[in-house]
Amino acid sequence: MDQFEKATTNSSAEWWRGCVIYQVYPRSYQDSNGDGIGDLAGIRRRLPYIASLGVDALWISPFFKSPMKDYGYDVSDYREIDPLFGSLEDFDLLLDEAHQFGLKLMIDLVLNHSSDQHPWFTESRKNRDNDKADWYVWADAQPDGTPPNNWLSVFGGSAWQWDTPRQQYYLHNFLVSQPDFNFHCPALQNALLDLTRFWLEKGVDGFRLDTINFYVHDAELRDNPALEIDQRNASIAPLVNPYNYQDHLYSKNRPENLYFLKRFRSLLDEFEGRACLGEVGDAQRGLEILGQYTEGNERAHMCYTFELMHAHPVTPSWIRQVFEHLNRVAENGWPCWAYSNHDVMRHASRWKLSDAALKLHATLLMCLYGSACIYQGEELGLEEAEVDFEDLHDPYGIEFWPEFKGRDGCHTPMVWEKTSVNAGFSEAKPWLPVSPDQQQLAVSEQEHVPESLLNHYRRAIRLRHQNAALTTGDMKILKSEGAILGFLRRTDKETLYCVFNLGDEAVDTSLPSGNWSDSGDVVGGAAIQEDGSLRLDAWQCAIVRKRGRNNG
């Protein structure tokens, strides 16, 4: 067995519980045809690397046919691969080979909206009585010609755009070129489920559901209330964006969404072992929504929110606060935690983490209750890249520059080789510049260094797979004092105590009552002292095992 191969492979219908997912942003992972843009064949080439991490699943951001005004999150054909990324044959080869490596393959479904170039929208905007007239959210102007209500777009400005052919406004929670679907229309829901079935029948193992809480809008189009200044939270949108000024009660988070999720889950359940991961974008009630959307067996399997993708650093008190809130509002839900993704500043920069701190954060992520996502390059410790305004592609960054520089800093190409042109990503000029600072951290520089961050991620993921308590066990926080965070992970047969020093100074800490022994893991380093206590150096952890026949 390769030293980084998963110790066990969970092939059950609930493989998603406690799984580790690796997110690939296809434009920036590996170019295979010399056009400067990553593609499906490039991802296929790098499958041995992805498998070597020990992850359970590969999530690929959108690769559908698209005008690319929002990097593929504006879909013009859900059943076709955009030529930038390859063909359906390329996808089939990638899917088959991923399965050969023991990887589940999840694709990114964007169901809240389409591109304005989608044939459905072209038909819908023609007039008010065609077959797809109500497939999008249309509304008349107010008597003075202004938009129907005060709803705002995540990308800035009004969420309503005037359309001359229909003499109405249409809703767009994101770009003007991303009109929102009308989920109050049964025919629209049926069409979305049909395209979902298309990919299920191809053999995909699951879906990441973009903006899952945005699907249904308030049918009465009521105004959103204002949000108090002290409640404004930049976890979903930058503070310079007026989107933070509203409490989005009516433009998203509607209870009717649960009915569609039930239909979606029913479809997935027709296929053995399929799962979905929802993105919950809400700064005020994200964990509550996670709890609602993952409760029971009729909705989403798991969801992630932005609590650990926030500017707030991961401190013991913050972790306790997040999990106490989770236990109150989502006791029966299933979270999926992430530090970084394609929409937020890389956490190495966001929290200004040293190499030792990055390693500890990686271990912590693998010890938390729930599932986990890793964003490409995170395992290398990549910081946010500096991208000049002239090189920007992100419409979000262009809109709010320079106070908010957008998302291109986390979209720059993956760095494979330190000395190769364009870091081994492409022989042509990449669509975004390769970061010279990131190139110093290339895979080639870390692959054969035992103590590199890359190999630490592999060990931390392996630790998770080797201990059922870390994948499916419950979690109870015992300590959150100063820099020390300590919690139990337990199954009926196993109890682990995970304790972390999230600070720059060594700390002595006691163990819970009981008979404990070193677990023998290779990610912590701290050992139990003769007096039964632990001494944790700066940014060090210990994972100890309770001894006894029934140590749970």
pLDDT score of 533: 86
Strands ordered across the beta sheet of 160-163: 138-139, 168-171, 160-163
In the set 108, 210, 307, 378, the catalytic residue is: 210
Per-residue pLDDT band for 9 (boundaries 50, 70, 90) equals: very low
What does the pLDDT look like over 32-75, one tens digit per residue? Answer: 999 999 999 999 999 999 999 999 999 999 999 999 999 999 99
Residue 6 has pLDDT above 70, yes or no: no
Catalytic residue check, 194: no
- In our burial notation (b when 16+ CB lie closer than 10 A, e otherwise), range 272-301 reads eebbbbbbbbbbbbbbbbbbbbbbeeebbb
**What's the CA gap between 26 and 49, in Å, rounded?**
15
CB 488 within 8 Å of CB 514:
no
**How confident is the model over 517-534, as a mean pLDDT?**
78
Give pairs for 230-235: CB < 8 Å, separation 24+: 231/284, 232/283, 233/283, 233/284, 233/310, 234/283, 234/311, 235/283, 235/286, 235/306, 235/307, 235/309, 235/310, 235/311
Residue 370 has pLDDT above 50, yes or no: yes
CA torsion, points 251, 253, 259, 263, in degrees to nearest 10?
A: 90
How many separate helices (H) and strands (E) can be counted in the chain?
15, 20
Whether 473-546 and 20-114+186-388+446-464 are alike in CATH topology: the answer is no
pLDDT computed for residue 547 by the predictor: 81
In angstroms, rounded to a whole number, what is the distance separating the alpha carbons of residues 155 and 139?
20
Ranges of each domain in the chain: 20-114+186-388+446-464, 389-440, 473-546
Residue 4 has pLDDT above 70, yes or no: no
Two structure tokens written together for 536: 């944790």
pLDDT-above-70 percentage for the chain: 96
Please confirm, yes or no, whether 89 is among the known catalytic residues: no
Homologous superfamily of domain range 20-114+186-388+446-464: Glycosidases (3.20.20.80)
Mean pLDDT, range 396-424, rounded to an integer: 94
User: Is the predicted pLDDT of residue 550 greater than 70, yes or no?
Assistant: no
* Cβ contact 367:498 at 8 Å: yes
Q: Which of 220, 228, 270, 331 is catalytic?
A: 270
| 473-546 CATH | 2.60.40.1180
Is the pLDDT reported for residue 8 higher than 60?
Answer: no
Rounded distance, CA 200 to CA 404, Å?
38
Q: Are 331 and 507 in contact (CB under 8 A)?
A: no
In this prediction, residue 521 has a pLDDT band, given cuts at 50, 70 and 90, of: low
Mean per-residue pLDDT, 74-101: 98
286-301 pLDDT per residue, tens: 999 999 999 999 999 9
**For all residues of the chain together, what is the average pLDDT?**
94
Q: Bridge partners of 304?
A: 279
Q: Evaluate if residue 262 carries a pLDDT over 80.
A: yes
